Amino acid sequence: MIKIAPSILSADYAALGAAVEKLSEWGADYVHLDIMDGCFVPNITFGAPMCKALRKHTGLVFDAHLMVDNPSQWVPAFKDAGADIVTIHIEADRHAHRTLNYIRSLGMKAGIALNPSTPPSAVEYLLDSCDLVLVMTVNPGFGGQKFIRGAAEKISVIRKMLDDRGIHDVEIEVDGGVNVETAAICRANGADVLVAGNAIFSSDDPKKTIELLRG
Ligand code: DX5
Ligand code: ZN
């Protein structure tokens, strides 16, 4: 069944604990934490201390999306902060294979993210070293952007790459501009996890929206 990972980037920053507590009630599977350093992306959000502060507010999976340069330096901090999944960008790490193994060595799941212009072939030799592949369908840095339909094609390409290698335990997560309409495209292409920020937090009925995103 499709998993839903609400991104708290679109939540009320003055009340993130309360926002996170609501996610279980709304039927979410993961909490998507958008970590931005102002270098890899043109925005700054929050780091491991925020993750640690939010940890006691929910038992949901913490899905940390590191939009940061040199992400390996932050891996221990996110372990200490209670992250369950740590996703790095292939464009931000010259030694991605080493960093993915490092994340796993600390008992967390390792994800690898691709920006819209990065081809699926960039992660071809990482598919057996990760637990999740994150397909960005917006240019990272902000919530509420328009879904890039061309990037969605990568979902089915990566699904085929995994199937051709007999790899069935890697999740394909899609992130950016996901709403009820674009979620159908992601599902049709083989996505396992859908990240949604604006679609959920701007909804009058977030619980219903999550159901509709699941399809
Ligand atoms: C963008 C982040 C996304 C974003 C999703 O850099 O990685 O997780 O918050 O927000 P929406 O769903 O509003 O595009
Ligand atoms: Zn994200």
Q: Is 135 in the pocket of ligand 1 (CB under 6 A)?
A: no
**Which of the residues 34, 37, 131, 192 is marked catalytic?**
34
Six-digit token string for 107: 């008992």
The CB density around residue 25, as the number of other CB atoms within 10 Å, is: 9
Number of Cα atoms under 13 Å in the Cβ half of residue 146? 3
The residue behind tokens 């085929």 is 160
Q: Residue type for 64, please?
A: A
For the stretch 90-145, pLDDT in tens is: 999 999 999 999 999 999 999 999 999 999 999 999 999 999 999 999 999 999 99
Question: Candidates 9, 62, 194: which one to mutate for ligand 1, based on the most atoms within 8 Å of Cβ?
Answer: 9
Residue 171 φ then ψ, to 5° = -85, 140
Q: pLDDT tens track of the chain, all 215 residues?
A: 999 999 999 999 999 999 999 999 999 999 999 999 999 999 999 999 999 999 999 999 999 999 999 999 999 999 999 999 999 999 999 999 999 999 999 999 999 999 999 999 999 999 999 999 999 999 999 999 999 999 999 999 999 999 999 999 999 999 999 999 999 999 999 999 999 999 999 999 999 999 999 99
C-alpha–C-alpha distance, residues 196 and 10, integer Å: 9
Q: What pLDDT was estimated at residue 47? A: 98
Structure tokens at 77: 């901090």
**CA atoms of 190 and 154, how far apart (whole Å):** 10
Give the global pTM: 0.98
- Ligand 1 contact, 9 CB (< 6 A): yes
Between CA 20 and CA 181 the distance in angstroms is 25
Q: Measure the CA–CA gap between 174 and 157, rounded to whole angstroms.
A: 13
With a CB cutoff of 8 Å and minimum separation 6, the contacts of 162 are 127, 133, 168, 170, 172
pLDDT (0 to 100) of residue 129: 98
* Per-residue confidence (pLDDT) for residue 148, from 0 to 100: 97
Q: What are phi and psi of 132, to 5 degrees?
A: -155, 140
Any catalytic annotation for residue 34? Answer: yes
Alpha carbons 175 and 73: distance in angstroms, whole number: 24
